[in-house]
A and B are shown apart, each in its own frame.
Chain A
Amino acid sequence: MARKLMKGNKAVIMGAILADCRAYFGYPITPASEIAEAAADYFPRLGRTFLQAESEVAAINMVYGAAATGVRAMTASSGPGISLKQEGISYSAGAELPIVVVDIMRGGPGLGNIAPEQGDYFQVVKGGGHGNYRNIVLSPNCAQEMCDLTILAFELADKYRNPAVILADGYIGQMMEPVDLSIREIWKPEKPWAVDGTSRTQGNLVSSIHLSAEELEVHVEHLFKKYQTVEANEVRYEEYRTEDADVILIGYGVVSRIVLSAVDAARKKGVRVGMIRPITLWPFPTEIIRKRAESVEEFVVAELSTGQLIEDVRLAVEGRKPVRLFRRTGGMVPSAEEIVNILEVREGVA
Chain B
Amino acid sequence: MDMVVKEKAKSILDQYKYKPGPDKESTHYCPGCGHGNVHKMIGEAVDELGVAERAVLMSPVGCSVFAYYYFNMGHIQVAHGRAPAAATGVKRSQPHAIVMSYQGDGDLAAIGGNNILQAANRGENMTVFFINNAIYGMTGGQMAPTTLLGQRTSTTPRGRTRANEGFPIRVCELLASLEAPVYLERVALIDPKTTAKARKAIKKAIQMQVEGRGFSLVEILSPCPTGWKLSPVDSREWIAKNMLPVFPLGVYRDRSKEELPPNEEPKIETVAEALGIETGETATIRKSSAPLPETVRMKVAGFGGQGILFLGEVLAEAGMQAGHRVTWLPSYGPEMRGGTANCHVVISAERIGSPTVTLPNVLVAMNRPSYERFVDDVVDNGMLLYDSSLIEGVPVPERLRSYAIPATQIADSIGNTRVANVVMLGAYLGITGIFTREQALKALRLHIRRPQLLELNEKALDAGMKAASPKK
Contact = CB atoms under 8 A, between A and B. Distances in A.
A154 interface: no
B53 interface: yes
B139 to A, nearest CB: 14
Nearest to A67: B89
B94 to A, nearest CB: 5
B212 to A, nearest CB: 14
A96 to B, nearest CB: 12
Given A64-B89, A176-B316, A197-B90, 17 more contacts: A5-B313, A5-B320, A18-B271, A46-B271, A49-B92, A61-B89, A65-B58, A68-B86, A91-B79, A176-B326, A195-B74, A197-B74, A197-B94, A198-B54, A202-B72, A260-B351, A335-B354
Nearest to B114: A54
A175 B56 contact: no
B interface residue count range (under 10 / 10 to 19 / 20 to 34 / 35 or more): 35 or more
Contact of B354 (A45, A61, A68, A260): A260
B142 interface: no
Contacts of B274: 17, 42, 45-46
A133 interface: no
A3 B282 contact: yes
Interface string B309-338: 000010011001000011111101110000
A59 B87 CA distance: 11
Contact of B77 (A53, A71, A207, A336): A207
Interface of A: 1-5, 14, 17-18, 22-23, 25, 30-31, 42, 44-47, 49, 51, 53-55, 57-59, 61-69, 71, 73, 87-88, 91, 95, 114-115, 170-171, 174-178, 180-183, 195-199, 201-209, 211-212, 215, 254, 257-262, 264, 333, 335-337
Contact of A178 (B56, B58, B325, B334): B325
Interface of B: 18, 20, 52-56, 58-59, 65, 68, 72-79, 82, 85-90, 92-94, 96-99, 114-115, 117-118, 266, 268-272, 274-278, 280, 282-283, 285, 313, 316-317, 320, 325-330, 332-334, 351-356, 358-359, 446
A202 B94 contact: no
18 contacts: A2-B275, A31-B332, A54-B114, A57-B85, A61-B78, A61-B86, A63-B89, A64-B79, A65-B76, A65-B86, A68-B90, A87-B79, A88-B82, A202-B55, A202-B72, A202-B73, A207-B76, A254-B355
Among A5, A44, A170, A175, residue most surrounded by chain B Cβ atoms (within 10 Å): A5
A1 to B, nearest CB: 7
Contact of A171 (B53, B275, B329, B446): B329
B134 to A, nearest CB: 25
Contacts of A254: 355
A101 B77 CA distance: 20
Contact of B277 (A2, A25, A46, A211): A2
Contacts, number: 246
Contacts of B73: 202-203
Contact of B72 (A53, A69, A203): A203
Nearest to A25: B89
The 4 closest A-B pairs by CB, nearest first: A197-B97, A65-B89, A261-B353, A65-B86
A335 B118 contact: no
Contacts of B285: 1, 3, 180
A54 B118 contact: yes
B354 A336 contact: yes
Among B56, B89, B96, B330, chain A packs the most CB atoms within 10 A around the CB of: B89
B326 A177 contact: yes
A204 B86 contact: no
B317 A58 contact: no
Contact of A57 (B54, B82, B275, B316): B82
A18 B276 CA distance: 12
A206 B76 contact: yes
B289 to A, nearest CB: 14
B20 A215 contact: yes
Contacts of A259: 353
B94 A196 contact: yes
B7 to A, nearest CB: 20
A87 B79 CA distance: 8
